[in-house]
Amino acid sequence: MITMVSAMSAAWSTTPVLRDAFGTFWLFLSTAVLVLCAWMVFDYAVIYPSEQSFNQGQSQRAERSPLKRDTEEIKRRLKDLETDGENAK
């Protein structure tokens, strides 16, 4: 955090475009904090859920999850047993 503020103050003091656009350092700093907060909300509301959804989908694929493979094998065996039981009647 201290490094970020130091970098922003250095950018402010060496870049005339920033000084002309914002007027005061506090307005520049406030805008940077506001943009950071907006990015955090966007990341939490959009990026994080889609990343979690993707990871959950990937973990449910049989070729990636030993648990999923074992479950599918058990279901197949149960279906075979049911089919064999119906044929024996």
d(CA 13, CA 22): 12
The reported pLDDT for the residue numbered 76 is 92
The reported pLDDT for the residue numbered 88 is 64
d(CA 89, CA 73): 25
Short-list 81, 39, 74, CA closest to 66:
74
pTM of the entire predicted model: 0.54
d(CA 89, CA 6): 82
Exposure of 38 in the CB half-sphere (CA atoms within 13 A):
6
| C-alpha 37: how far from chain center | 16
The reported pLDDT for the residue numbered 89 is 61
